[in-house]
Chain A
Amino acid sequence: MELTYEQRLEALCKTKMQQTREKQEVLLVMDQDDHGRILPSPEFREITEYMGPSGEMVRDAKLNNFKPKSNHPSGGFFGAKACGENFNLFLKAHPVYINPMSSLAGGYMAYFMGYRNPSWPPELASNLEDEQRKYGVYPGIGATQHFCQDMTIGFKLGWGGLLRKIRRYRKLNPEKSDFYDGLEQVVLGVQDWIRRHVEVAREMAKKEKNPTLRRNLEEIAEINEWLISKPPRTFREACQWTVWYQMIARMYNGSGSMGQIDVWLKPYYERESAAGTLTDEEAIFHLACLLLNDTQYYQLGGPDGEGKDTTNKVSFLVLEAVHRLKAPANIGIRVFDGLNPELLRRGVEIMFEDKTGFPKFLGDKGLVEGFVKNGYSVQLARQRVYSGCHWFAIPGREYTLNDCVKINFTKVFEVAFWDMMNDSEIKPSVDELWSRFKKHLHRAVEVTKEGLDFHMKNMHKVFPELVLDLLCYGTIEKGLDASNGGVEYYNLCIDGSGLATVADSFAAVEQRVEKEGLLTWQQLAEHLKNDFKDAENVRLMLSSVPRYGRGGTRADQWAIRIVQAFTKFVKEKPTPAGFNVIPGLFSWASMISMGQTVGATPNGRHAHAPISHGASPDPGFLRGGSAPTAMAVAVVSVQCGYGNAAPLQLDMDLGLARGEEGLAKVEALIKGHFELGGTMINMNVIDKKQILKAHQDPSKYPNLIVRVTGFSAYFASLSKNLRQLVVDRILEEET
């Protein structure tokens, strides 16, 4: 019996749910995107544990049939050649995965990064650690990926073409042989991996009884035999090529950045659609299979270099594919004046219909106007596309370390506060506190910049970007890793975190201590030291000061002052080695781990509680509601303004978008925020009853998807702490 695309997709989604459930059972907590990763079968599985991003132990499953070869006394492996060779061995050990229902072969099961032990050669230790720890800096030293390759290079060359390119340039740069060895090993590894899939697909086809699936397996074998060395010719082949690339990128060092899928698939779609060889239903199916393979970051629509909208039929098909899957996806619609209004409308409709926190919305105006201020052209700024949690990069031409480098404002505040209180020479005051905060923030920015230089100097010697390097302009040509001068542009990210906590703290001391005199500085210090023990009234007195986000409050003014000072310090000069740096505000899911290192704060926050999230006001900033427009206006007021994002996080009630009129109002909210200069909107559509029930027993709601910060995740997969944060936001809206 023949199977329809609909039936096959249904079967694929069912398998995906089983795989997700298995991950939830085996790995327990996944405080990150729900990647498309499939667990290795028990005979290949080895469970390990390490400290996760929210400070809880994370369990991971490794392949037990791969052991890396060390080239260093520490037992680790470092440098291009060693990394390439080990990754090649890793791919050799990696099992084949073909789901006969899918039109695309492949599934990935493990992360290569987990085998890097130690991940940094001990002799290269930085001497900045103490100071960076003092200021709660996440320095990004040793951080990988977080920039974006250009997929069209791969589509043009195929794996064979890439191999030839590497060999051609190896001859021109013989002194770079170590780097070329590494790259070559990666390509050979993936070719071998694909070859094994071809063989298995053929075997499976022979045994397959169902005619649709047998044909599908034969096609998979044929397509992939071609793709071992040749570039993709068809829409389906381009999707299959993307699957191979995205899997090795994810496995090698966690990369999930992809960029403009609707732009690079457009020529294939148009050619075949015009020739009558590809129906929309088939195209949607291939896209759905691609999206099931992994939750990569894609941009839809938005201007090309000249400002013309790139929206095309493929943009809508991608939306439709995600809509049918109802699985986590990371897709952003780039909103600008020239955007096809139907794309935005369809995006908003799907947001409210599916309630999966997808898509997110990107503010072109603020992004472009900001990026230009770094000295780049408008054309280039428009080409900086969405490719990660809260970030953008110029595909194949820019190295960024986006989302890897953060300064914990609350830690800086804490240092400044105690620095002042312990200084017997002076009388504490808000002016004094502000001046010390600025002094320490300045130093925190400087020590972060020094750390960036340290990273840039050493990273290529440790763990170069062997997968992303393949699809960049200049890396192979020059024989240089992207972190080592291989690409054209270097704009390194520094994000601030915990803005609302600090702004509200300044406002609280200004009002309660200095203006009203309800508390002395010494009393405040004692309460903070004791974490407000037996002083709930004092804590409430401090926390009830009008907060950042309400508009026109002291705290609103403090938030702006803090961001202005931060932006000034980041932008006043490049790193000592001359790299441009761009400020933004984002905390990813690090609000919990960052909060754990900070004692009680004068905004009434308890010691070690999470800090505020990115640019967002603290939940409850408006008593009796959380007006999205109030948040939207507040978040605009604290944009750093150089092209990196400070996202607006909105949990929207399902009832808000009732009917045509409701959808138009949500659209107006999005457009208004971007008109004012906002850069990104992450939206959750919340069914309150559902989420509260799910919090009580997450296992009963394995399907529930929430947008946590920059990413969507299955609610049941999140740690209890992170779930609590999501739930708190929703409860605040109810009171």
Chain B
Amino acid sequence: MPIRENLLLKRNNCTRKTLTPQTAKGTIFDIQRFSVHDGPGIRTTIFLKGCTLRCFWCQNPEGIHLKPEVMFYPDRCIYCGNCLLACPNKAHVVKEDAHVFLREKCTACGKCAQTCYAGALVLVGREMTVDEVVDEVLRDKVFYETSGGGVTLSGGDPIVQYSFSRALLKKCKKVGLHTAIETAANCQWKILASLLPMLDLVMMDIKHVDSEKHKKATGVSNKIILNNAVRLSKTKKPLILRVPIIPGFNDTKSEVEAIAEFVKEFSNLEYLELLPFHRLGEGKYKALGLEYSASNLAVPAKEKMRELSEAVKKLGIKVRGN
């Protein structure tokens, strides 16, 4: 899989010049209210498009690329023909009584999705200003207060649109919200460091300590990631480290123990969280016209997850696992 959003993050659509809350724009693919499984309290999670990794099991494939994309759910199509008329590039055709989406012709202008009332065509990735996002986030302010929750930037990876992320976090802090980020931290340290002052919590993934294996499964080496983890551990910022448990990649006791060993001395580590692989993202691959390489993987058994959690616990690390 080609990696377009590379380490240099050249495609970041947000330059310093545009950084006011009214004009700074980010590409968002979802805003999830009442997010209760990621971080403390009741949270609103902002999903930003763009990621530097290409994990083959990725559960949010619509978050991988920075640019907007059209998702197509043929089952919902009612053959009204609106998209045929709306598309300037003739990307929608009817062949043998079936609606065929010629993705290679699509420029993701979104005109088809706009007229697809049946919801068969959905544009993922809409540009929003910092103020627009914060307006939506503030709708649940009272629940952040009663629960100790706040806002979480996720994705994709929020570091891809780091300038926008910074502007957004800044505004969130200004209005008094608890802020968190979910990141793979595969970026220059200075990018991460520039976000830290506006963050109350960092949630970071560590997928493997073996660089070769990491590269094979995610498309990138883990060198920068591990370095960043160590540097993060030297800050006082509360840190939650998360390990997606992927069968055949990192689901052995020794592999999980190696990660635990690596983070053992991190004094700011709140806990290590083991997240079992699941296949809930499979339908989205199909809708994006992508192949799903994890379709043959089994969901880790509860017993397995318990065993891995126990192994981490034995090393004296606080652990959470489902």
Interface residues of A (CB under 8 A from B): 536-537, 540-541, 543-544, 551-552, 623-625, 627-630, 632-633, 656, 662, 664-665, 667-669, 671-672, 675-676
Contacts and interface: CB of A to CB of B under 8 A. Distances in A.
A672 B119 contact: no
A200 to B, nearest CB: 54
Contacts of A544: 117, 119
B41 interface: yes
Contacts of A665: 36, 41-42, 147, 149
B117 A540 contact: yes
Given A629-B33, A656-B36, A537 B143 contact: no
Nearest to B142: A672
Nearest to B36: A665
A629 B42 contact: yes
B93 interface: no
18 contacts: A537-B78, A537-B80, A540-B119, A541-B117, A551-B136, A552-B135, A552-B136, A623-B119, A627-B33, A628-B34, A629-B143, A630-B34, A630-B139, A665-B36, A668-B41, A669-B146, A671-B146, A675-B145
Contact of B147 (A552, A632, A664): A664
Contacts of A633: 139-140
Contact of B78 (A540, A627, A664, A668): A540
A662 B34 CA distance: 12
Contacts of A669: 34, 42, 143, 146-147
A668 B118 contact: no
Interface of B: 30, 32-34, 36, 41-42, 78, 80, 82, 117-119, 135-136, 139-140, 142-143, 145-149
A25 B123 CA distance: 51
A604 to B, nearest CB: 9
Contacts of B149: 665, 668
A163 B143 CA distance: 53
Nearest to B35: A627
B34 A629 contact: yes
Q: Which of A629, A630, A633, A675 has the most CB of B within 10 A?
A: A629
A163 to B, nearest CB: 51
B146 A668 contact: yes
Q: Is the interface of A mostly helix, strand, loop or mixed?
A: helix
Contacts of A676: 142
A443 B82 CA distance: 42
A672 B136 contact: no
Contacts, number: 74
Contacts of B82: 537
A630 to B, nearest CB: 5
Contacts of A624: 30
Nearest to A628: B34
A615 B250 CA distance: 49
A667 B143 CA distance: 10
B145 A672 contact: yes
Contacts of B118: 536-537, 540
A536 B78 contact: yes
Contacts of B36: 656, 662, 665
A536 B119 CA distance: 13
Given A633-B139, A672-B42, 7 more contacts: A551-B139, A624-B30, A629-B33, A664-B147, A665-B147, A668-B42, A672-B147
Contact of A537 (B117, B140, B142): B117
B119 A668 contact: no
A675 B33 contact: no
Contacts of B34: 627-630, 669
A542 to B, nearest CB: 8
Contacts of B147: 664-665, 668-669, 672
Contacts of B32: 625, 627
B97 to A, nearest CB: 17
Contacts of B142: 672, 675-676
Contacts of B42: 629, 665, 668-669, 672
A536 B140 CA distance: 35
Nearest to B78: A536
B7 to A, nearest CB: 32
A536 B81 CA distance: 12
Q: 6 tightest A-B contacts by CB? A: A668-B147, A540-B117, A537-B80, A627-B33, A668-B146, A672-B143
B99 to A, nearest CB: 14
Contacts of A630: 33-34, 139-140
Nearest to B145: A672
A475 B135 CA distance: 54
A544 B120 CA distance: 12
A668 B118 CA distance: 36
Contacts of A671: 146
A537 B118 CA distance: 7
A671 B148 CA distance: 12
Q: Which of B80, B118, B136, B142 has the most CB atoms of chain A within a 10 A radius of its CB? A: B142
Contacts of B143: 629, 632, 668-669, 672
Contacts of B135: 552
Contacts of A662: 36
Contacts of A623: 119
A671 B80 CA distance: 46
B41 A629 contact: no
Contacts of B146: 667-669, 671-672, 675
Contacts of A628: 34
